[in-house]
Amino acid sequence: MDRVKKILIDPGHGGSEYGAVYKDIFEKDINLKTAQKLKLFLEKDENFEVFLTRYEDRELTLKDRVDLTNKIMPDMFVSIHHNSSYEDFGNRIEVYYRWEEDGPSYKFAQIVNRFLKNFLKIPSKKPMPAFYTVLRNNADISVLLEPYYLKFYNEDLPELTAIAIYEAIKEFFKWDYPKIKNFQIKNNFLILDVEGRWDAEKSLAKIDNERVLIEKRENKAYIYITKSGNLKVILRNYNGFPSKMLEMKINNIFSSYSIDVFPGFKNMPNLININFYDIFFQKISDGFEVEIKINGFSLNTKTKDGKVSFIFEEKAEFYEIEIKVLNNKFNEIIELKDGFMYWGKFEDVKDGYGLSDDKIYKIFNGYIFSNVPKLKIIARGFQPFEVDLSKEVFYKPLKLYNGTFHDKRILILYDEIENCYEISSRLWFFGANVEILKYEDELNAIKKAIEFNNDVLLFFKFSESEIIKFYEMDRYGEKLATILSKHLNMFWTYSSYQILIQPFGARILFEINYLDEERIRKIILALKEYFESQFNG
């Protein structure tokens, strides 16, 4: 070991926050007892300097714990908790690590999980990433441990648990892991300064999921930049122990652009697409800032799908365009043609279609261009309506449910329950952004929910006995469950499923044996009431 390692142990809860309770056993006390025993083992080892977030039974906020981490700057953060459940899961070990695809937290989580299994002789779940506050933006190695369920507690367990964690910490730091200290971009290389030994063959670099070459030169890592995009780098030592993932956007190899104008006629609105390419003539990635000036008007936007798209409304016979992107500046003059198309603008509409007798026209950012004046407009989130573009070009369509569902993010999970696609389709048509996923794996479902950042998560799970469940600390879930209970005439209770604990928004588990037309209608009405209450609140 190259130097003494700082270990910060976090006994969860404390003071008036009891944590889990089983009979006269409080989680806060067992957390502290285990942490104190672990502290004794670490203090006897000259390789470690140890700290606790609390040394006694006192209350600490999550912010207090994170602030202490930032002050001490430990090499490792270990949060100790103990479990309870509203479901009868049986005794098991649960290990959570900071949210990352790969890295030292993930590696240590695997090691400590193995040692806990060996010492406690009980089953374990596969270690899982978690978005808990004490793991976010914390030390490179941050884990939260739930070694066993409180109802299985005995006096020997705190010391056994402490020994297992201590042995896991020793095992991890015996091999250590490479650390990326600084970086610079030079020509088409990203050059990384690395502390510790590492192996280029075991390491990985990807740009937008496409693997790129890593070369080792005097312990520096040279990453070959072959395109623009989102870069992820993991360096590994000879034993496979990974560095913390380096993530960054590569934006220094922009090369060219192209402009498309539709319909391209004089003195009417036009759709303008500006496509951006790198030196390999691949589209650049999302999120790059673009500044556009067109005939004296300014627009600041960001790339999406390698381009920016917008409607320019001002009447003109040509467009004088200035483009600034990635420290490059370009000027272009676009000559417009003589010609005519019918066009219309629909307030608040983002996408949809106009239907004539023999053709379909797409709506883009609330605009439509058509060869015929009379159309039936089908727009997501709005009542269907008919237009005559020869008489009127500006329309204010009626919103379905007064726009209550517009832009709401709703994730639907299901196992064996039928008709889930029916409810997802209706919510989508009412204007919500809806994702639907068959629940096959807890980790993938949680990842999807975190990435989607839902306002509401609905999990439909088959069960002979029917009930609505939510996580007891999810106040949004409690509010929605209460409304659903009223509409469906169904009881609710608390649940300890991780899919209800980790994501954002209101999270609801339906344990039901069918989902029919009547229930779909009632769930939609309950969601409407919930979203309206959120708006009014």
Check which CATH number belongs to the domain holding 523 and give it. 3.40.630.40
pLDDT in tens, 133-166: 899 878 889 999 999 999 999 999 999 999 999 9
pLDDT at position 209, please? 85
Q: Any idea what DSSP says for residue 397?
A: P
Number of domains in the chain: 5
CB 230 within 8 A of CB 208: yes
CATH number for the domain harbouring residue 317: 2.60.40.1930
For every residue of 303-345, which 3-state class applies, written as one string? CECCEEEEEECCCCCEEEEEEEECCEEEEEEEECECCCCEEEE
**Statement to judge: residues 346 and 205 lie in one domain:** no
- Based on the domain organization, do 116 and 236 belong to the same domain? no
3-state secondary structure 467-533: EEEECCCCHHHHHHHHHHHHHHCCCEEECCCHHHHCCCCEEEEEEECCCCHHHHHHHHHHHHHHHHH
pLDDT for residue 441: 87
Based on the domain organization, do 69 and 144 belong to the same domain? Answer: yes
174: phi then psi, degrees, rounded to nearest 5: -60, -35
Q: Phi then psi for 408, rounded to 5 degrees?
A: -70, 140
* pLDDT computed for residue 452 by the predictor: 93
- Helix (H), strand (E) at residue 104: helix 104-120
Does residue 474 sit in the same domain as residue 528?
yes
- Cα 51 to chain centroid distance, Å, stands at 32
Q: At 315, phi and psi to the nearest 5?
A: -70, 135
CATH of the domain at 230: 2.60.40
Same structural domain, 213 and 92: no
Q: Do 190 and 155 sit in the same domain of this protein?
A: no
**Three-state secondary structure call for residue 421:** helix
Residue 325, pLDDT score:
87
Select from 140, 175, 210 the last residue of a domain: 175
What whole-number distance in Å separates Cα of residue 87 and Cα of residue 149? 12
Q: Are strands 229-236 and 199-207 parallel, antiparallel or unpaired?
A: antiparallel
- CA distance between the termini of the chain: 55
Encoded amino acid at 85, one letter: S
Show the beta-strand stretches assigned E in 35-150: 48-52, 76-80, 94-98, 128-130, 141-146
241 in the same domain as 258: no
Helix (H) or strand (E) holding 186: strand 179-186
What single string gives the DSSP state of each residue in 273-299?
EEEEEETTSPBP-TT-EEEEEETTEEE
- pLDDT for the residue 251: 66
Using the 3D structure, point to which of 132, 153, 175 is the last residue of a domain: 175
pTM: 0.82
**H/E element holding 259?**
strand 254-262
Same domain membership, residue 146 and residue 20: yes
* Parts of the chain with a pLDDT under 70: 1-2, 251-253, 536-537
Q: Cα separation of 224 and 81, whole Å?
A: 43
Of residues 126, 98, 237, the one with CA closest to residue 175: 237
Angle at which helix 157-175 crosses helix 104-120, to 10 degrees, equals 140
Q: How far apart are CA 356 and CA 458, in angstroms?
A: 38
Is residue 455 a contact partner of residue 409, using CB atoms and an 8 Å limit? yes
Q: Are residues 236 and 303 in the same domain?
A: no
pLDDT in tens, 331-375: 999 999 999 999 999 999 988 999 999 999 999 989 999 999 999
Provide the residue range defining the domain that includes 377: 342-398
Same domain? 364 vs 475: no
User: Of the candidates 157, 175, 193, which is a domain's last residue?
Assistant: 175
d(CA 468, CA 465): 10
Q: Work out whether the CA dihedral 122, 125, 129, 130 comes out positive or negative.
A: negative
Q: Are residues 39 and 153 in the same domain?
A: yes
Q: Is residue 229 left, alpha or beta, with left meaning phi > 0 and alpha meaning psi from -120 to 50? A: left
- 311 and 373 share one domain: no
pLDDT of residue 253: 65
